[in-house]
Amino acid sequence: MSDNSTIEWTDATWNPVTGCNKVSPGCKHCYAQRFSERFRDVPGHPFKQGFDLRLWPERLAMPVSWKTPRRIFVNSMSDLFHERVPQDFIGRVFDTMRACPQHQFQVLTKRAERLVEVCRSLTWPRNVWMGVSVENAKYAYRSELLRKVPAKIRFLSVEPLIAPIAKLPLKGIHWVIVGGESGPGARPMLLEWVESIQDQCRDSDVPFFFKQWGGVLKHRTGRKLRGHVYNEMPSYSTRGVA
């Protein structure tokens, strides 16, 4: 939980759920798991259960106390649409987001199938941005599933980008984030992979945000792409549902 996130595309994080399990190659070097497991069995620590899934109902109202508007990444340490998160709890998270119109909530999942399964039972306020992770071409189908979700802003997190994606489905998508893997064992990301996605975004008039090159020491590789920093964001006030 942080009211001053170091993640480049958000302002704060909110974790009413923690813990997860790996579902695709992008999860291989999960930063959240690596962090959480350091504190397994530490008495009194929020991650004493390691990366085992845990619901935190006492955290549900936290964003209500944040009066200054901000972008909030929901469940940076989990996946709201994990199969073991009850649908009624997902609904309670949405209740909080609906009660906080001053904020923009960024929800990200790799479980696009469950997202589609439950999305029609949820009320989608315009301040909820819904995204899916796409790490290589095999999982580009998650973007197609995301199009079925009635969120005002739909986005793709192409991070970690671990292989080229020659055709990224961008119809009905309002924002794309691209980034390389970071930390121990980080897999490389090639310039031509990034340029291809940027070109696809430009051709489709989709804002492109380049998060990082990554690597074992990501502060050394930085965020510049061909000498420029790309911080493009969706136009929250004008973009609609395609």
How many CA atoms within 13 Å lie on the side-chain side of 240? Answer: 1
Kindly state whether residue 123 falls inside one of the protein's structural domains: yes
Note the pLDDT of residue 236.
Answer: 66
Nearest CA among 34, 13, 31, 30 for reference residue 22: 30
CATH of the domain at 205: 3.80.30
The domain in which residue 165 lies consists of: 12-221
Kindly state whether residue 235 falls inside one of the protein's structural domains: no
pLDDT in tens, 128-182: 999 999 999 999 999 999 999 999 999 999 999 999 999 999 999 999 999 999 9
* Contact by Cβ (8 Å): 230, 222: no
Note the pLDDT of residue 4.
Answer: 73
Kindly state whether residue 240 falls inside one of the protein's structural domains: no
| Mean confidence (pLDDT) of the chain | 95
Q: How far is CA 61 from CA 54, 108, 119, in A?
A: 17, 20, 22
